[in-house]
Amino acid sequence: MTTSPLTAAGTAAAVHSGAGGALESLDAALDRVADLDPALHAFTTLLRADGRAAGAAVDALAPAARSALPLAGVPFAIKSTVTLDNPVVAPLLAAGAVPVGVTAAPQLCTWGMTDSEEHGITRNPRDLSLSAGGSSGGSAAAVASGMVPLAVGDDGMGSLRIPAAACGIVTIKPGPGVVPTRLSGDNWGRLAESGPLARTVGDAALALSVMSGRPELAAVGRVPRGTRVGLSTTSPIRLGVDLVPVREPWRRAAREAADLLRADDLVVVDTTLPSPRDPVLYLARWTSAVARAAEEENLPLSAMERRTRHHALLGRTVFRRGGAGDGDTRWNRGVEALRTDVERAMATAGVDVWLTPALADVPPEATEWHRRSWGRSLWASMRFSPFTPLANVLGWPAMTVPCGRTHTPLGRVLPTSVQLVGRPGSEATLLALAAAVERGGA
């Protein structure tokens, strides 16, 4: 077996000092992919030529120029939704990162499980019987397994945070405009943002600082004085009852994170995160985003999986009712009502950031979900990941960080994770809070 990789920061430091080289780190990553990926199916394509060209360019630099690259020689994976010339990838390459390969996603990034007819089932490195989550499941599996220290993904209804939490790693979905990106369907109807997946908060912050062009984000500081956190473990999908129950290990993770933050001299108060007044708001936004992406990619219904075809057809209905654009529509009114309710709850509780479980249960089994019905895939996605859509619908930054642990049905240890959600512009605060959780749980 190959050796485990350094962190992204550690790899860059080794290349800066001359203790390692960019091509050396690329070759080590490719060896790990050869060892591990046959079981995981995280990658769909390896970018050997591009990676070697990028690595050789870094190694050819004078020491001073190489030391100026924040990601010198860092191997990274790229989700299949973007290409090397995408504005989210280009800064990473300019910072000296070395592309290893393209990672798997479900069709049109629709589902919380990553599998397809073409690329098979992407499995969870923590337990191969479980899904790696979705839709950035390939990127999450690549990082969690140690094949690469860093990966790019995107998040339209939780597609970074779901697989990160499923695999026990760190991610951040920035707010709109923080990270330039170009995704299908006008960035999934303006719901989606691109961001990094990493094994540590420091690596996620370093990658975000490069992707956003904001170097100050790499220096994760203490939580700003006076920050107050609202803890909510209530199921966010409710119609008089909790339609999606939150299992105790995930509630416990949020309570443990709250205790760690309190130990860091922060105020954490118990409160309840509001749910949408319109019970189909999330579904409407989700289906219309998929329909919009399918239209832009010129993907006909005949080429879609059965479950995705049903989803896109529902989304077209939302389109016809004005749900994919601006203006006074039921869906846009629902978003504004939700934003009002969330802001009012924050003001009442006097909190600046929400802390919730990242998931409600362990990930679904790793199987051919693409052969199953729309209803089964819908429920499988919803029942373990009800907490993530809020941040996309509001357009707020959010991140997940491991805290605590549980066991899978096969008895494997699975890290549990928590989610942090803040108002626009709070990325640095979320990173600081996540670092406090990471530090306290170490």
Please provide the average confidence, as pLDDT, over all residues in the chain: 95
The one catalytic residue among 79, 116, 235, 377 = 79
Residue type, 283: L
Give residue for tokens 């626009």. 424
Helix 306-320 to helix 374-384 angle (10° resolution) is 80
Higher per-residue pLDDT: 326 or 411: 411
Task: Say what percent of the chain tops pLDDT 90.
Answer: 91
The one catalytic residue among 135, 184, 235, 288 = 135
Indicate the pLDDT class of residue 324, thresholds 50, 70 and 90.
Answer: low
Average pLDDT over residues 166-187: 97
Report the pLDDT value the prediction gives residue 126, as an integer from 0 to 100: 97
Alpha helical stretches, state H, 19-116: 22-40, 48-59, 63-67, 90-94
Beta bridge partners, 365, equal 130
Q: In this structure, are strands 98-103 and 43-46 parallel, antiparallel, or unpaired?
A: antiparallel
Compute the distance between CA of residue 130 and CA of residue 109 in angstroms, rounded to an integer.
Answer: 18
DSSP annotation of 410 reads: T
Indicate the pLDDT class of residue 36, thresholds 50, 70 and 90.
Answer: very high
Verify whether residue 116 is a known catalytic residue.
Answer: no
Indicate the pLDDT class of residue 323, thresholds 50, 70 and 90.
Answer: low
Average pLDDT over residues 207-225: 97
**Beta carbons of 245 and 318 less than 8 angstroms apart:** no
Task: Say what percent of the chain tops pLDDT 70.
Answer: 96
Question: Residue 355 pLDDT > 60, yes or no?
Answer: yes
Kind plus residue range of the DSSP H or E element containing 154: strand 150-155
Instruction: Copy the structure tokens of residue 11.
Output: 């790899």
Domain 8-218: top CATH class: alpha beta
Report the pLDDT value the prediction gives residue 442, as an integer from 0 to 100: 75
Residue 131, preceding peptide bond in cis (omega within 30° of 0): no
Question: Residue 75 pLDDT > 90, yes or no?
Answer: yes
Average pLDDT over residues 257-267: 97
Report the pLDDT value the prediction gives residue 4, as an integer from 0 to 100: 64
Verify whether residue 377 is a known catalytic residue.
Answer: no
- Three-class DSSP category at 94: helix
From its phi and psi, is residue 379 left (phi > 0), alpha (psi between -120 and 50) or beta? Answer: alpha
The one catalytic residue among 25, 80, 145, 159 = 159
Output the CA–CA distances (angstroms, integers) from residue 119 to 104, 163, 209, 367, 417, in the order listed.
Answer: 7, 17, 32, 12, 28
**Residue of 101, 88, 129, 82 whose CA lies nearest to 42:** 101
Question: Residue 2 pLDDT > 60, yes or no?
Answer: no
**Residue of 217, 337, 359 whose CA lies nearest to 277:** 337
Question: Residue 225 pLDDT > 70, yes or no?
Answer: yes
Report the pLDDT value the prediction gives residue 89, as an integer from 0 to 100: 98
In sequence order, what E strands does 275-426 have? 353-357, 398-407, 413-422
Indicate the pLDDT class of residue 417, thresholds 50, 70 and 90.
Answer: very high
Least confident residue range of 5-14, 90-99, 310-319, 390-399: 310-319
Average pLDDT over residues 19-26: 97
**Beta carbons of 181 and 157 less than 8 angstroms apart:** no
Output the CA–CA distances (angstroms, integers) from residue 181 to 168, 386, 423, 427, 433, in the order listed.
Answer: 25, 25, 20, 17, 26
Question: Residue 346 pLDDT > 50, yes or no?
Answer: yes
**Residue of 312, 385, 377, 310 whose CA lies nearest to 140:** 385
Q: Count how many Cα atoms sit within 13 Å of the Cα of residue 404 in the half-sphere of its side chain.
A: 23
Model pTM score: 0.97
Report the pLDDT value the prediction gives residue 83, as an integer from 0 to 100: 96
Report the pLDDT value the prediction gives residue 1, as an integer from 0 to 100: 38
Compute the distance between CA of residue 386 and CA of residue 250 in angstroms, rounded to an integer.
Answer: 12
Instruction: Copy the structure tokens of residue 311.
Output: 């989803």
Cβ-Cβ contacts under 8 Å for 305 (sequence gap 6 or more)? 107, 116, 117, 370, 371
Verify whether residue 173 is a known catalytic residue.
Answer: no
Question: So where are the chain's domains?
Answer: 8-218, 228-274+340-441
